[in-house]
Structure 1
Amino acid sequence: MPNRRLATTLACAVMLVGSAAGATGAIAAPAQLPLSHRQAQNDRGALLDVAHLYTLKTREAVTAELAKAGFDASQVRHGVDAYRLTYRTVDPQGRPTTASGLVVLPRGPKGRLRAVSFAHGTGSHRSDAPSMQRASFLTGPPVAYAAAGFAAVAPDYLGMGEGPGLHPWMHVPSEATASLDLLRAARAFHALDRKVFVTGFSQGASAALGLGRDLQAGEDRYFRLGALAPVSGAYDFGGAELPALLAGELEGKSSVIYAAYTLVAFNRVHRVYDRAEDVFRDPAVETLFDGEHTGRQLFEGTPGTLGELLTPYGRDLLAHPRGGLADALRETDGVCADWTPKAPVRLYMASGDEQAATANTAQCAEALRGRGVEATVVDLGAVDYQGSRHLGSNVRGTAEVLRWFEALS
């Protein structure tokens, strides 16, 4: 069993950035809007609502906010204003839906701003989303980017924040559409430069690459990809992450939760299993991933080992993906292998990461090299945040990515 300190970290953040461990119930979500598929595609990114969340008027106020969240404040130059935007987007089947996200703007700079799109790591409760929190692990990066003079744009993802439905975890195509459509909504709210700097942590690292791919492909007529800087991603989920997880090379409790989340969430988009009891020894595990259970509840409601979690069939399915799971993994694992970035790329990771196998980054760099792209790999070293190198990579990575983006600007 993990030690008490690690247990607390995982309960609050299993990649699960669960500041929602103290959440107190469901968040009302807007109903889906009666649009056709064609109308939904044409109306993507339409801004529906803006809510002002908070203002940090001075550099000192921002510094205090970042310090409370555990983030570096050495590059703070402005106060900031934070807003929740609600906007139209599409679900994994292309049907109309809505989503929310955080937009943080610097106080002082006028005119167009260069946007930094930040995609967050895994959460279990729908309030594990940037627009639902403050002074937290989730909001540190967007506040830091905005305080340096960028327009920070951080999607909550589908089924999180104030968006309806269940969250399709690690579904890169819908992460990318939600991210792109928030950029469109943010542009309707404030003038933005054409070039976008794109970053993300953990789950958000794959989401960042997916957004970069869509921007380069011209999915939006205005925005263009300026640079890519994902941090500690599981880019080769089927070839690196799952094998390391099953081999016991990663932290045990987080491996249990990721194994369960993989089966449940991928089953929402691709038919992975027919009945929960086919893959889980306790079928009730499936109900924990409904967006209403906190990180702590997820930690306490799942067993301590993969052997206690999975049936023999469930373990074999993860070890030898087939059917819907194989389809899902092809979709997820294409983020480094099926396109050729033309913008600068840096891949950030931390040696000894206990949740995202570092082989993910190595294999992503190799895949890009095979397409003629020399992506710089930056090892952030022995970082730590509440006993976790994985979470620590987001904290140090934010400071390093910000320095790089400023140099590129």
Structure 2
Amino acid sequence: MVVTALLTTGVGSFTPLAQARPASQRGDLIQVEAESTRTPSQVSDFLKSAGIDNTEVRYGVRGYRITYRTITPQGTPTTATGLLVLPQDGRHTRLDLVADTHGTMVDRDYAPSVGEDDGRLSPYLHASVGRAVTAPDYLGLGKGPGRHPYMDTASAVSASLDMLRATRTAARELGRPLTGNVYGTGFSQGGQVAMALGRALSQGADAHFRLKALAPVSGPYDIVGQEMPALFDGRVNDTSGVLSMAYWLTAQNRLHPLNTHSFGYGPVPFAQFPAPLAPVVCRLRAAGGWSRSSPRPQPLSIPRTVLASRAVPRAPETPGAGQRRHTQPVRRLRTSAFRARSGSGAEPQAAPSSSAGRAWLVAQFPAP
């Protein structure tokens, strides 16, 4: 393998890495770009500003955006990006690796490798105590192409596993080789990804990595048994529920199309229902609601003009100030989706809150 010169320049610089394997190989490292450098005091202040315990911080950190090869949900070659964070501890020993998978994010620029925001809190925390951290952006977020297949477990695992492989190469070329020990964690959406990635590693998905511990936090592990009921009984706040379900249904519809019949005037969702249920859905669409106690509705004939009047207006081509104001509150939701208001049983109740959970995680992994 041709060893590439290490990064020695400032943030924003990059070095294309020589390919040691065929271009189509999953996990191949394409590029490393220096993203951030933080002193111990800067890391402490960053964590403190988010309400996270910073007493464990020992080292400064340096972050790199890495671009690597992976696959789409359909199995075709693509690329993705992610954040690699290394401790600035003055040592040259091998490092254990924390695989940190982030929670729900609705904009690609919120991803760990791009935004100096919530997505870097946990990576900085773990790196500051002496571990390497890999934080995949997932497909369609960060600088990767395409749209994000939200809550598609298989592609989240393949992208995260390929990120581990690319991280192994990058860390070696940056002079901080890895031990092969992996500590998995993640929050919200990332909790589910962490659990699935942990299963893949424990089943021998890559011989270079050994799963040592797994700490998924507040993930949507049981959508049918817990998530869906909690959306309707008050355990999940309305804003988070609408956001997460709309995001999930939109992403899943791209992977498993629900609206395929156009009938000449656009997709008709109820056309996907079996014949006995179609009248019920027709009635819902026309009348705006139906309960189980209501008499079974009769088939309705909905004129094309009615369907057109109920269509969702198309957003302007260029976002204006009004749109921007409406998107800002959503940004603050990306690490708090599914958080419950009260009660028990919904997955948010199974783990500490975001900030408390990050501090708790450090205590679960043995000191390096």
Q: Same fold (TM over 0.5)?
A: yes
The letter for the 2-side match of 1:61 is Q
Q: What's the secondary structure of 2:32's corresponding residue?
A: strand
For 1:306, the equivalent position in structure 2 comes to none
Q: 1:399 to 1:220 in 2, by over 3 A?
A: same
Matches of 2:328 and 2:57, distance apart in 1 = 36
The letter for the 2-side match of 1:226 is K
Aligned counterpart in structure 2 of residue 227 of structure 1, from 213, 225, 230: 213
For 1:131, the equivalent position in structure 2 comes to 113
Q: Normalized against structure 2, the TM-score is what?
A: 0.71
For 1:147, the equivalent position in structure 2 comes to 128
Matches of 2:132 and 2:231, distance apart in 1 = 37
The letter for the 2-side match of 1:155 is P
For 2:28, the equivalent position in structure 1 comes to 46
Matches of 2:65 and 2:40, distance apart in 1 = 22
For 1:405, the equivalent position in structure 2 comes to 365
Q: 1:94 to 1:285 in 2, by over 3 A?
A: farther
Q: 1:267 to 1:378 in 2, by over 3 A?
A: closer
- Greater shift, 239-248 or 204-213, is seen at 239-248
TM-superposed CA distance for 1:277, in Å, is 5.6
Contact in 2 for aligned 1:240/1:357 (Cα 8 Å): no
Q: 1:144 to 1:298 in 2, by over 3 A?
A: closer
- Which blocks of at least 5 consecutive residues in structure 2 are unaligned? 1-21, 172-176, 261-265, 271-284, 289-309, 317-322, 331-335
TM-superposed CA distance for 1:406, in Å, is 2.5
2:200 maps to 1:240: no
TM-superposed CA distance for 1:255, in Å, is 1.3
Q: For the pair shown, which has the larger CA radius of gyration, 1 or 2?
A: 2
Matches of 1:68 and 1:199, distance apart in 2 = 22
Q: Normalized against structure 1, the TM-score is what?
A: 0.64
Relative to total residues, which structure has the larger helix share, 1 or 2? 1
2:46 maps to 1:71: no
Matches of 2:223 and 2:325, distance apart in 1 = 22
Matches of 2:152 and 2:127, distance apart in 1 = 27
Identical counterparts, % of pairs:
41
Contact in 1 for aligned 2:27/2:163 (Cα 8 Å): yes
Q: 1:284 to 1:111 in 2, by over 3 A?
A: farther
Matches of 1:399 and 1:217, distance apart in 2 = 29
Matches of 1:295 and 1:43, distance apart in 2 = 42
For 2:235, the equivalent position in structure 1 comes to 249
After superposition, give the CA deviation of every residue in 1:160-204 in whole Å (9 maximum; x if it has no partner): 000000100011111111111111111101111212000000000
TM-superposed CA distance for 1:285, in Å, is 8.3
Q: What's the secondary structure of 1:139's corresponding residue?
A: helix
For 1:263, the equivalent position in structure 2 comes to 249
The letter for the 2-side match of 1:204 is G
For 1:215, the equivalent position in structure 2 comes to 201
Matches of 2:343 and 2:98, distance apart in 1 = 26
After superposition, give the CA deviation of every residue in 1:18-45 in whole Å (9 maximum; x if it has no partner): xxxxxxxxxxxxxxxxxxxxx78x6111
Matches of 1:358 and 1:93, distance apart in 2 = 37
Matches of 2:50 and 2:32, distance apart in 1 = 25
- Which blocks of at least 5 consecutive residues in structure 1 are unaligned? 1-38, 301-349, 363-376, 381-392
Matches of 1:294 and 1:125, distance apart in 2 = 12
Contact in 2 for aligned 1:235/1:360 (Cα 8 Å): no
For 2:43, the equivalent position in structure 1 comes to 62
The letter for the 2-side match of 1:229 is A
Matches of 2:83 and 2:325, distance apart in 1 = 21
Contact in 2 for aligned 1:255/1:355 (Cα 8 Å): no
Q: 1:217 to 1:399 in 2, by over 3 A?
A: same
What aligned pairs does 1:90-105 form with structure 2 within 5 A after superposition? 90-105=71-86
Q: What's the secondary structure of 1:359's corresponding residue?
A: coil
TM-superposed CA distance for 1:276, in Å, is 6.0
2:78 maps to 1:118: no
What aligned pairs does 1:7-406 form with structure 2 within 5 A after superposition? 43-56=25-38, 58-108=39-89, 109-134=91-116, 136-190=117-171, 191-274=177-260, 278=269, 284=312, 296-297=326-327, 353-354=339-340, 359-361=345-347, 379-380=351-352, 393-406=353-366
Aligned-residue RMSD, C-alpha: 3.0
Matches of 1:356 and 1:261, distance apart in 2 = 23
Q: What's the secondary structure of 1:130's corresponding residue?
A: coil
Contact in 1 for aligned 2:103/2:189 (Cα 8 Å): yes
The letter for the 2-side match of 1:54 is S
Q: 1:118 to 1:356 in 2, by over 3 A?
A: farther
